[in-house]
Homo-oligomer: A and B are copies of this chain.
């Protein structure tokens, strides 16, 4: 059977991704923090492209870029984000935005295609100022007080950052309930499952929740020379012991998908000649099953109770972020899988996402789906992050076809 419909233009997809890589280039990756000049150049570039896909461009008051169609029929919302982690990869975010733009360029101009693809680039998915503030603003889950409180690692307020890039006076866009058949996001896998299985497409079944904790150890600050070893209450050593105990004891109660990370450690006062009287670690756990996390959290609290019972140092565990695992819509999973049969020789696998994505926020108000392309060596959040050009092009073809299928109803 002849297929006379237009497919994704692989060369155009690669060219667009390389244009975005040019803003804030760092080695082979990018350095594009939210509201930095390279991020805003990316935002403005996207806004200039949208009319070519028959979309009206808006940049809202929190930095979301939205392309709206006046074409009759069903609308599919599609996108990802444009900013990056510090000194990180070129595809984390832009891949999903460029795929969405490609789908809009092909489908919106095609009189035989049903409905239209509307494009979104969500602001600050990488969390320089908060947690999914762009997409959460769109679904109505961000208050003005949340924005007042948002700051980056340097202490700059989000309000100031918005003023600095001229966005402060604009209204924040809100989702029009019922407008979209759903939301589709593509992303690099950021893991090794596709690569090690010789696969092209990941069909995401769920997005894990992220639970985050501040674990604080209190001992006694004292002189590093005159305080005998036996007299010490070293908060830093208590923290190190706790990290090792986590590594030894959590595996027994975790699921195969559970991961945990200590990303930051601070010793106070942090001087070479002073025994730390206080030490703090930022600890994170992820799973798509809240019951598993509840079990691990109980274990952590039990371990803390043991430390406190010994009495040399005390420890307190404070949960500062509570995860919300999100299920991906079955119809979206089926559409991606069928498109993979057509354009990727069926080399797809259903898998959970261990990273958080804006799709989990959109999933709170509409059906949502995600598809992954392979990451070389599983590396991400680092400037060496990459995906083979051939995999990027295959992913674009699968993505455009999945959009067609979702709009076909």
Contact = CB atoms under 8 A, between A and B. Distances in A.
Interface of A: 85-87, 127, 189-192, 208, 210, 212, 220-229, 231, 234, 236-237, 239-241, 243-244, 247, 251, 254, 258-267, 269-277, 282, 284, 286, 353-356, 375, 378-382
Copies of this chain present in the complex amount to 2
B271 A224 contact: no
A231 B378 contact: yes
A244 to B, nearest CB: 5
Q: Which residue among A87, A225, A276 has the maximum number of chain B CB atoms within 10 Å of its CB?
A: A225
A261 B234 CA distance: 9
8 contacts: A86-B269, A191-B226, A222-B379, A223-B355, A225-B356, A237-B243, A265-B265, A265-B266
B267 A191 contact: no
Contacts of A378: 222, 226-227, 231
A57 B260 CA distance: 61
Contacts of A262: 236-237, 240, 267, 276
Contacts of A284: 224, 272-273
A270 B87 CA distance: 13
B273 A381 contact: yes
B272 A225 contact: no
A292 to B, nearest CB: 13
A137 B320 CA distance: 50
A324 to B, nearest CB: 14
Contacts of A226: 189-191, 353-355, 375, 378, 380
A224 B271 CA distance: 29
Given A223-B380, A225-B356, A237-B262, 9 more contacts: A85-B274, A191-B223, A191-B226, A226-B355, A228-B259, A234-B261, A240-B262, A261-B275, A263-B271
A378 to B, nearest CB: 6
A270 B263 contact: yes
Nearest to A357: B225
A247 B241 CA distance: 10
A261 B272 contact: yes
A314 B174 CA distance: 50
A263 B276 contact: yes
A86 B99 CA distance: 54
A235 B189 CA distance: 23
B251 A244 contact: no
Nearest to A241: B244
A264 B266 CA distance: 8
B224 A208 contact: no
A206 to B, nearest CB: 13
Nearest to A321: B272
Contact of A227 (B87, B191, B210, B254): B191
A379 to B, nearest CB: 6
A241 to B, nearest CB: 6
B251 A225 contact: no
